[in-house]
Amino acid sequence: MAFEEDDRVVLHDEHSEFDGETGTVTQVMETMFGDATYTVSFDDGQEQGIPEEQLDTAEESEA
């Protein structure tokens, strides 16, 4: 599932300080291989270069 700017997502990355947190996609970048990576903004910062497989759509109650 591809995400777009302003989508609310949950990050799943055990190496990130934002693991399990809900944030907003602020930028979508395409790699030279045609894959998308995302910049997601959280309440306490942002994470860049997140691959699609580490993101899930946030439930309405998480927004």
The answer to whether 37 touches 29, Cβ cutoff 8 Å, is yes
Q: Which residue do the tokens 């910049």 mark?
A: 39
The alpha-carbon radius of gyration of the chain (Å, integer) is 11
What residue segments make up the domains of the chain, in order of their start?
Answer: 8-58
- The pTM for the full model equals 0.89
Q: What is the pLDDT of residues 1-51, one digit of tens each?
A: 689 999 999 999 999 999 999 999 999 999 899 999 999 999 999 999 999
